[in-house]
Amino acid sequence: MSEILVTGATGNVGRQVVVQLLATGIPVRTLTRHPESARLPEGVTVAGGDLPDPDSLEGALKGVSAVFLIWPFLTTEGAPGVLEVAARHVRRIVHLSSSGVDDDAERQTDPINQPHADMERLVEGSGLGWTVLRSNTIASNARGWADQIRATHVVRGPGIAATAVVHEHDVAAVAVHALTD
């Protein structure tokens, strides 16, 4: 199998995707704005590039068969260009989205879910094979709740129902399966 490109590889889920792909013997390439400071596992090819600049992705995508895509922005501005460049090189995209996306809503009620919904539509319309992973709250987000937990022993947020969190290792395992099977 040719290399798989992982975006967000220095983050919690992306790093797990990298580690798990390497464990299966699949060659991994990562995209990062700062290759010299990425600190990724040995055996990973680190490519420089920046999602907001689609032209910077050409080199990272050459010879790649699939992309794990984390879209870290609050709008999809620039995403069509990224998907256009990807479509010239890869066959498949696995995109990490949110379980909060409501397929039946024209506009999402939660502003955080709107860019996820917009990105899903773009990925689905890209002409590539695609999988959208709608993850629930990822366990590593708990670090951001520390002060609230210390003060109140409860995590509260607007419109958030009580729910279990999912570990980034498990999200990555599903992503790896979608990327490779």
- The tens digit of pLDDT for each residue in 39-60 reads 999 999 999 999 999 999 999 9
Q: Is the pLDDT of residue 119 over 90?
A: yes
Query: Strand, helix or coil at 22?
Result: helix
Q: Considering the domain boundaries, does residue 151 fall inside one?
A: no
Q: Considering the domain boundaries, does residue 146 fall inside one?
A: no
Of the candidates 30, 26, 31, the one whose C-alpha atom is nearest the C-alpha of residue 1 is: 26
Q: Considering the domain boundaries, does residue 120 fall inside one?
A: yes
Query: Strand, helix or coil at 28?
Result: strand
Residue 83's CATH number: 3.40.50.720
| pLDDT per residue as tens digits for the range 59-89 | 999 999 999 999 999 999 999 999 999 999 9
More confident residue, 161 or 175: 175
Q: Considering the domain boundaries, does residue 143 fall inside one?
A: no
The reported pLDDT for the residue numbered 161 is: 66
Strand order in the sheet with 129-135: 45-48, 28-32, 3-6, 64-70, 92-98, 129-135
Query: Strand, helix or coil at 32?
Result: strand
Q: Are 5 and 31 in contact (CB under 8 A)?
A: yes
Q: Considering the domain boundaries, does residue 154 fall inside one?
A: no
This prediction's pTM:
0.91
| pLDDT per residue as tens digits for the range 141-153 | 778 888 888 999 8
Query: Which domain, by its residues, includes 40?
Result: 3-137+167-180
Q: Considering the domain boundaries, does residue 8 fall inside one?
A: yes
Alpha helix locations (H) across 25-134? Answer: 58-61, 79-87, 113-124
More confident residue, 12 or 110: 12
From residue 62, give the alpha-carbon distance in Å to each of 33, 56, 69, 96. Answer: 17, 12, 16, 22
Q: What is the residue whose two structure tokens read 């709250």?
A: 137
Q: Are 45 and 67 in contact (CB under 8 A)?
A: no
Q: What's CA 43's distance to the chain center, in Å?
A: 21
| Radius of gyration for the alpha carbons in the chain, expressed in angstroms and rounded | 17
- Name the CA dihedral angle for 82, 84, 90, 94, rounded to a multiple of 10 degrees: 50
Any idea which of 19-28, 49-58, 135-144 has the lowest mean pLDDT?
Answer: 135-144
- How confident is the prediction for the chain on average, in pLDDT? 92
Q: Are 57 and 82 in contact (CB under 8 A)?
A: yes
Domain count, the chain: 1
Q: Considering the domain boundaries, does residue 147 fall inside one?
A: no
Q: Are 30 and 46 in contact (CB under 8 A)?
A: yes
